[in-house]
Chain A
Amino acid sequence: MKPIDDDTLQAYADGELDAAASARIDAALAHDEILARRVRQARALRAQLRAAFDPVLDEPVPARLSARLRPASPPAAGTAVLRPMPAARRGLAGPRQRPARRRWVPGAAIAASVALLAMALWWRQDGGLIRMHDGQRFAAGTLSQALDRGLASRPDPHAPIAIGLSFRSKDGSICRTFTERTRPAMAGLACHAPAGWSLAALEPAEKPAGGPWRQAASSLPAAVQAAVDARIKGEAFDARQERAARDAGWR
């Protein structure tokens, strides 16, 4: 039998040998403790190297690197100052010049926009369930309609928005919780004001385990529940009070 050289032993330890060659080493290792120890050393070193460098895989990737690969970032961002091409100013820019007009988004802004992603998706998907007025968020579209007309005591299973609790708040206005039935679902608290339904809270909704969306009151996100607790005066409306409040225009 040929003696086993270092390179072959290492190839064995690294799983590089074919079955026949491996079997030959297996046989040799069985009665050669020195050889077996060298194989263990080679494998241990490999494991230690993985232990030393694998944690890099779990580190957050610096934003300067990942931002470089986002479609929104221009091809030369971070290394070159982008100047508008003269052609672009004359309105002759082809597709290749278009990225130059995009703004470079710094890492912090990207992180912030990720945090707002759920809300942004929601806005877009429903074509405006929120409108801004004097810097405040107000219900719009089907959300506004659901808050105006919907009754928790007579839920409409086909409506896109489920109404939860209605109650009078400490400042005298009537507030209602709501949960979206379609994903990505949002849940929130809206309080009636002269300008419409002002959104006091808006959070991604969590579907209760096995339960339907209309059990909105019990499955409100914690932040929405906290907003309710901070405002509610007395008890939530019962069916009769809810209907009466609607008929009175939520005043």
Chain B
Amino acid sequence: EVNTDEQKNTYSVEAVFVWALRWKEDLQQKAAEAFLRQQEAAPNLSKVVYGSVDSDEEDEELGGLFRVSRPHKSKRLQTNSVDCSRFPPDSSLNWNLEEILDSIRDCFVTGKWEEGQDAA
């Protein structure tokens, strides 16, 4: 570990170099934190499925302080929309692009096989 006080005093080339590389120091930790933040932001699927329908009518209160607001309007629209099992495709994927095509290559027998498996 570099002592910062010493660094200020001596001001050697080496110290500057170390200082410049400081941003790398806790990269792993930063990444871990970012990952956790993202995890929290991404809605928990179980909650999405089972969470919201418990109390349709009354406003739910959290800890007697916050009121859970619900998109009433969208819910109402949904209740009388078409009963259909089709899952509309995700239009953000452009299947003309090589990189998108590449993202599913290994789903096919012609793709890369995992260790310990083979086509035979």
Do A and B associate with each other?
no
